[in-house]
Structure 1
Amino acid sequence: MEKLANLSSTQVSIFSSTLQVITPKLTKNNYKDNYRFWRSQVLSAVGAHELEDHLTGSIPCPDLIIVSDNDSSSQSSETLTKEKINPAYVAWKKTNKFLVTWLLASISESRALHLRNLLQTTQKGSMNVSEFVKKMKSFAENLSGSGQVISDEDLLQYVLDGLGPEFDAVVVNLTSRIESKFDSVSLQEAQFLLQKYEMRLE
């Protein structure tokens, strides 16, 4: 616990610049073959900074609030108590956030590939247009969080690719506008047109 209590923001910054990048990244396809090697690299890296107990859960999260005793005066026999933020808790949270970010970096490639695959293969199915577009937007936002930004134009194309044959007429129209240099269409406008077309189908 003392190790965490003395951990400063500067030290966390040092960890972030000295902890090695784990390669190869752990992916869905190589998980069985690479997990043991990946795990040994992770434990070796954090062990060099004496953080293995934190990573394995041997050091639990400290209490947020601690109570300190303050003598009111030398003449008083009563002791006043004062609640304050536990420095060990603050240090633990900083370390935990750093380790989570570092670990995700070693598997983010897998996550990014999975999200991009969802964008390419997800179909509207029984969802209405609003629900489908919302779902596709969430995939794109999560993918952006992995460092791969999806433009609105590309997202719209994924949306159009996921619509059923009943939307062919409006898809052809929107696709031609996307490819046109003079009559572009925004994602918001396309969603409005698709919802309007959906109402006509009902």
Structure 2
Amino acid sequence: MASSLQNPQFPKLDGPDYLTWRIQFLVFLRSHDMVGLVDGTNHAPAKTLSDGSMDPVFSSKSKKDNNILNWLYASITEKLVSTILNLETSKQVWDALQSRFSSTSQSRVALLKRQLQTISQGNRNCLSYIEEAKLFSNQLSVAGKPVEEQDLISYLLSGLKPQFMPFITAFTFATRDKELSLDDF
């Protein structure tokens, strides 16, 4: 059992990588059946029972919460640890990190939209180009402004190198009567 409660083994959160870190951390928590403690769906019971004795369920959840706190502290950089030191529960830490890195400010959303709308392939291979566009799209989703798949495909098509003009023509012809998913694209 001790080996199943080891610290997560992925790069530490530093800021710009929040979305990737969040997904990896959630998968890690799911593997330990502990997501409810950070997303608020698993509420902590009262500390004591009606007879005044310690509630064993509270004790168990408290231990799990402390494990998550340990994992959170171990999975972020030192500069971020200093911003959450006064928080007492894993949910408080989780919410603080989410609030900090899921900024929904108008200027951030506008910047992400502009970056997505003006993305170009440049000297990158297609996979790298698509991954960067997906990153912008995912960041917009986290900010509460999801990008429709067909719009994302349109941005990708407009930023391809000129040598892909035959592909763009074929794709446009193939999708005149039906939409294709990003995976099919």
TM-score interval (norm. to shorter): 0.3 to 0.5
Larger Rg: 1
Decide which structure has greater strand share: 1
TM-score w.r.t. length of structure 2: 0.47
TM-score w.r.t. length of structure 1: 0.44
